[in-house]
C-alpha cells in the first residue's frame, strides 16, 4: 500500500509542483464555493430563470472561446510563471470587487453578468498557460502522474467547495462565500513567487524573432495534420458543449424539479465530484500515452451514465448515478488530455493546449444558452438526457471512424469476465 501511494503521489516529491498543487487546491475550493453561490444568486435575482443561468455560463466561457488561442501563443513566447501570476492577480481583484457588491446588497443581475465575463477573461489567459506549465514543473516522465493529480486537486475542491458552500449559503447567505473566494485566490500568487526558477525543467526562451514567429495558425495546422490529436479534441468539443454543463443543469434540476434548497444542490455537485475524484486518481499510475480506444471507451461510458441521470425520476437515484457519471467524465477528459499532451512537440505545447482548453471550455458559450433554454421549456432532466444522447452518438461515430481507419475489430468476450476489446496491430 505504501508503494502504491508513493507511486500515486510521485509528482508531489517535486517542490515546485507541491507549491503549484497546494495553491491550486486552496484557490479551487473557493472557486467552487463561488460557483454555487453565483448560481444561487442568479436564481434569486432572476426569479428562478434557467435561461439566466445559461447566459451567465455563456458569458463566463465566451472569453475562453475568443482569447484562448492567443493565450496559447503567449505561453509559447513568454515566461509561463510570470503569466500565471498576472492572470491570478487579476482574478483576485475581480473576486474581491464582486464580494463587496454582494456584501453591501448593491449587487444586481447585470453585475453578475459582467463579473462572469471578466472572470472568463482571466481564465482564458490562465488555463492554457497553467496546462502547459505542468511539464516545466515535473518534466515528461512524471507528466501523466502530474496531470492526473491536477484532476484530483480539481475534483477534491469540487467535493469540498459545493458541500461547504451549500451549508454556508444556508447559514450566512451568499456574501461571505464570495469573500472567502477572494481570500483563497491569494494562495497561488504566494506559491508562484515561492517557486525556484532554477528547478523548472524548461528550455531557455528562444530569441525574440523566433518567439514572434510563433503563430496561432501554425498550431491549428499542426493539429489538423495529426489525427491522433484531432480525434480526442473533436469528441471533447461535442461532449463538452452538450453534456458538461452540470454547473447549470444540476442547479436547475435541484431547484425546479426536486424543489430542494442550496444544501441539496451542493449534494448533487458533491456526488458528481466524488466520482470525478476517483476517476482522476485512477489515472495516477499511468506512465505512457493512453490509447485511442481507452479514450473512446471512456467517452461512451460517460455519455451513457449522463443520459441515465437525465432520465432518473427520484432525487436519490440522481445522486447515485452522478457518482459513475463523474468518474467517467473525468476519466475520459484526463485520458484525452494525456493523449494530447504526451503526443505534442514541445515547441507547439502552448498553442495546442490552448486549443484543448478551447474545445474543453470554449464550447460552453455555444451550448449553455441552448441547454438553459431546453431546461426552462422542457425540464432540467430533458436538458441532461438530450445532451447525453448527443454525446453518445458522437462517441460511437468516432469509434466507428477509428475502427475503419485503423482496420481494427471490436470484439466481445464473455469469459472470464464480460468485456469489449479491440484487436489491432497498432493502438
Residue 424 pLDDT class (50, 70, 90 cuts): low
Residue where a domain terminates, one of 168, 196, 224: 196
Q: How much of the chain, in percent, has pLDDT values that exceed 90? A: 18
3-class SS at 110?
Answer: helix
Is residue 55 domain-shared with residue 125, that is, in the same domain?
Answer: yes
Is residue 178 domain-shared with residue 242, that is, in the same domain?
Answer: no
Cell of 196: 525556484
Residue 53 pLDDT class (50, 70, 90 cuts): confident
Is residue 80 domain-shared with residue 20, that is, in the same domain?
Answer: yes
More confident site: 183 or 64: 183
Contact in structure between 380 and 256 (CB atoms under 8 Å):
yes
Closest C-alpha to 282, from 151, 140, 138: 151
Non-local (6+) Cβ contacts of 89 within 8 A are 189
Cell of 110: 447585470
Residues 170-227 have pLDDT tens digits of 788 888 888 888 899 899 999 999 998 888 876 555 555 554 555 667 778 888 889 8
pLDDT for the residue 399: 92
Q: Which residue has the cell 431547484?
A: 255
Is residue 378 domain-shared with residue 248, that is, in the same domain?
Answer: yes
Stretch 62-74: mean pLDDT, rounded? Answer: 77
68, part of any domain: yes
Closest C-alpha to 45, from 97, 115, 123: 115
Residue 259: other Cβ atoms inside 10 A: 9
Stretch 268-288: mean pLDDT, rounded? Answer: 80
Mean confidence (pLDDT) of the chain:
82
Is residue 175 domain-shared with residue 35, that is, in the same domain?
Answer: yes
DSSP per-residue letters across 225-264: T-HHHHHHHHHHHHHHHHT--HHHHHHHIIIIIS---HHH
Is residue 88 domain-shared with residue 134, that is, in the same domain?
Answer: yes
3, part of any domain: no
pLDDT for the residue 396: 94
281, part of any domain: yes
- Asked whether the CA dihedral 397, 400, 404, 407 is positive or negative, the reply is positive
Stretch 242-263: mean pLDDT, rounded? Answer: 77
- Asked whether the CA dihedral 152, 361, 306, 27 is positive or negative, the reply is positive
Closest C-alpha to 95, from 43, 32, 154: 32
Report angle CA 366, 360, 273 to the nearest 5 degrees.
110
C-alpha–C-alpha distance, residues 5 and 336, integer Å: 24
Q: Lowest-pLDDT range, 53-62, 145-154, 338-347, 364-373? A: 364-373
pLDDT for the residue 364: 64
Is residue 187 domain-shared with residue 283, that is, in the same domain?
Answer: no
Q: Which residue has the cell 491522433?
A: 228
pLDDT for the residue 427: 46
394, part of any domain: yes
Is residue 190 domain-shared with residue 237, that is, in the same domain?
Answer: no
Residue 398 pLDDT greater than 90, yes or no: yes
Q: Which residue has the cell 515561492?
A: 194
pLDDT for the residue 216: 67
Q: Is the pTM of this model over 0.75?
A: no
Residue 37 pLDDT greater than 90, yes or no: no
202, part of any domain: no
Residue ranges making up the domain that contains 36: 14-196
Q: Total domain count for the chain?
A: 2
Cα within 13 Å of Cα(413), Cβ side: 9
Is residue 152 domain-shared with residue 219, that is, in the same domain?
Answer: no
Is residue 157 domain-shared with residue 46, that is, in the same domain?
Answer: yes
C-alpha–C-alpha distance, residues 238 and 242, integer Å: 6
203, part of any domain: no
419, part of any domain: no
Write the CATH number for 92.
1.20.1250.20
Is residue 223 domain-shared with residue 164, that is, in the same domain?
Answer: no
Contact in structure between 87 and 129 (CB atoms under 8 Å):
yes
Phi, psi of 146 (to 5 degrees): -65, -40
Peptide bond into 306 cis (omega under 30): no
Stretch 379-403: mean pLDDT, rounded? Answer: 92
Phi, psi of 178 (to 5 degrees): -65, -40
416, part of any domain: no
Is residue 247 domain-shared with residue 119, that is, in the same domain?
Answer: no
Residue where a domain terminates, one of 163, 196, 229: 196
Closest C-alpha to 201, from 252, 246, 141: 141
Residue 74 pLDDT class (50, 70, 90 cuts): confident
Amino acid at each position: 500500500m505504501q508503494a502504491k501511494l508513493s507511486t500515486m503521489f510521485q509528482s508531489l516529491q517535486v517542490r515546485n509542483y507541491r507549491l503549484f498543487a497546494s495553491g491550486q487546491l486552496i484557490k479551487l475550493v473557493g472557486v467552487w464555493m463561488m460557483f454555487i453561490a453565483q448560481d444561487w444568486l442568479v436564481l434569486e435575482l432572476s426569479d428562478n430563470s434557467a435561461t439566466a443561468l445559461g447566459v451567465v455560463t455563456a458569458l463566463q466561457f465566451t472569453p475562453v472561446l475568443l482569447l484562448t488561442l492567443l493565450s496559447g501563443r503567449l505561453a509559447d513566447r513568454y515566461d509561463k510563471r510570470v503569466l500565471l501570476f498576472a492572470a491570478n492577480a487579476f482574478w483576485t481583484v475581480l473576486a474581491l470587487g464582486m464580494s463587496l457588491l454582494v456584501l453591501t446588497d448593491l449587487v444586481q443581475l447585470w453585475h453578475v453578468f459582467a463579473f462572469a465575463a471578466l472572470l472568463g477573461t482571466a481564465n482564458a489567459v490562465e488555463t492554457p498557460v497553467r496546462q502547459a506549465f505542468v511539464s516545466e514543473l515535473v518534466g515528461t516522465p512524471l507528466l501523466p502522474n502530474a496531470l492526473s493529480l491536477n484532476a484530483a486537486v480539481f475534483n477534491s475542491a469540487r467535493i469540498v467547495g459545493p458541500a461547504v458552500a451549500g451549508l454556508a449559503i444556508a447559514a450566512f447567505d451568499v456574501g461571505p462565500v464570495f469573500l472567502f473566494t477572494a481570500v483563497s485566490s491569494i494562495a497561488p500568487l504566494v506559491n508562484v513567487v515561492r517557486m525556484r526558477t532554477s528547478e523548472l525543467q524548461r528550455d531557455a526562451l528562444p530569441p525574440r524573432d523566433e518567439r514572434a514567429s510563433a503563430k496561432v495558425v501554425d498550431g491549428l495546422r499542426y493539429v489538423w495534420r495529426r489525427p491522433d490529436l484531432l480525434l480526442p479534441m473533436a469528441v471533447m468539443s461535442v461532449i463538452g458543449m452538450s453534456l458538461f454543463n452540470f454547473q447549470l443543469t444540476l442547479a436547475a434540476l435541484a431547484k425546479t424539479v426536486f424543489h430542494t434548497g442550496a444544501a441539496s444542490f451542493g449534494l448533487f455537485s458533491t456526488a458528481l465530484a466524488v466520482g470525478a475524484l476517483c476517476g482522476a486518481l485512477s489515472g495516477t499510475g499511468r506512465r505512457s500515452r493512453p490509447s485511442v480506444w481507452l479514450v473512446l471507451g471512456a467517452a461512451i461510458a460517460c455519455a451513457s451514465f449522463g443520459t441515465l441521470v437525465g432520465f432518473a425520476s427520484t432525487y436519490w437515484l440522481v445522486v447515485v448515478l452522478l457518482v459513475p457519471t463523474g468518474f467517467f467524465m473525468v476519466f475520459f477528459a484526463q485520458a484525452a488530455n494525456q493523449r494530447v499532451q504526451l503526443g505534442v512537440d514541445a515547441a507547439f505545447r502552448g498553442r495546442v493546449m490552448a486549443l484543448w482548453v478551447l474545445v474543453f471550455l470554449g464550447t460552453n458559450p455555444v451550448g449553455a444558452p441552448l441547454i438553459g433554454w431546453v431546461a426552462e421549456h422542457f425540464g432540467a432532466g430533458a436538458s441532461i438526457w438530450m445532451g447525453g444522447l448527443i454525446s453518445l452518438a458522437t462517441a460511437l461515430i468516432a469509434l466507428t471512424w477509428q475502427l475503419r481507419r485503423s482496420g481494427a475489430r471490436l470484439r466481445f468476450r464473455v469469459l472470464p469476465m464480460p468485456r469489449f476489446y479491440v484487436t489491432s496491430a497498432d493502438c
